[in-house]
Structures are given as C-alpha cells and as structure tokens.
C-alpha cells in the first residue's frame, strides 16, 4: 500500500489532497478521506497538500497510528454501515462523491470538530 490517511483527517476534511491527486484515488467517507491503495500511483503529491499532516507513506506511518494502514484498506474491501456492497476499486473518486460511510474505527472515533490545524 502506498500512502495512508490517518486520524488527523477525521472531522477535518479539507480536500486539498484531493485537488493534488493526479489519479483521483482519494475517496470521501462521512468523516474522513481514504486512499484507494490499488489506484494510488505513489506520487506523494497529496502529502504536502494536507494541512493536517495526516498523510504518510505506509512505511512512515507513526507507530501509534499503524492501525490506519489496515483501516484504509477496509474502507474499500468491507461492506460499511448503510451500504450493500464493498466499494472496491471504482477507478475514480470524483464520480462517487461523498460516500457517506466510514470504517468502524473512524465512525467510532471521538469527535475532532474544532481541532483541525487548517480550519
């Protein structure tokens, strides 16, 4: 898996990273963004664009946030609450728009509203 979005994105969806992604592989959940690992070309354009410093190359994810590596995959491979099928690899995030669901880890994370650096 190339890049991973971690907990500092929760409730702080700026989408600056989305604007920089040349392959449109950053998807919008209800409370966070997720990078589709099979669509990401590992260019790193999203990393400096994130005002929350939430995006890391998978090998550089801080030790206390490594659970987001697997969680990012779950967004695409598991059937999320309110959905009838896994999202999979649709090929582009823009046509999907706001997906309206998150992984259990993100959905149950305490609110971070008002804690964003870039807000």
pTM: 0.94
* Percent helix, strand and coil across the chain, each to the nearest 5: 30, 10, 60
State the Cα–Cα distance between residues 88 and 76, nearest whole angstrom.
5
Q: What is the pLDDT of residues 39-70, one digit of tens each?
A: 999 999 999 999 999 999 999 999 999 999 99
Q: What is the pLDDT of residues 84-102, one digit of tens each?
A: 999 999 999 999 999 999 9
pLDDT surpasses 60 at 107: yes
| Band (1; pLDDT cuts 50, 70, 90) | low
Write down all domains in the chain, each with its CATH number in brackets.
3-106 (3.30.70.20)
State the Cα–Cα distance between residues 43 and 77, nearest whole angstrom.
23
Mean pLDDT over each residue of the chain, to the nearest integer: 94
């Amino acid at each position: 898996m190339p890049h991973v979005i971690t907990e500092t994105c929760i409730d702080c969806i700026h989408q600056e990273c989305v604007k920089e992604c040349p392959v449109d592989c950053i998807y919008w959940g209800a409370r966070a963004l997720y990078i589709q690992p099979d669509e990401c070309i590992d260019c790193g354009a999203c990393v400096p664009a994130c005002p929350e410093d939430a995006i890391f190359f998978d090998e550089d994810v801080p030790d206390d946030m490594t659970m987001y590596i697997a969680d990012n995959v779950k967004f695409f491979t598991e059937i999320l609450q309110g959905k009838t099928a896994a999202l999979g690899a649709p090929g582009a995030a823009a046509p999907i728009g706001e997906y309206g669901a998150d992984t259990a880890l993100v959905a149950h994370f305490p609110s971070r509203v008002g804690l964003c650096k870039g807000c």
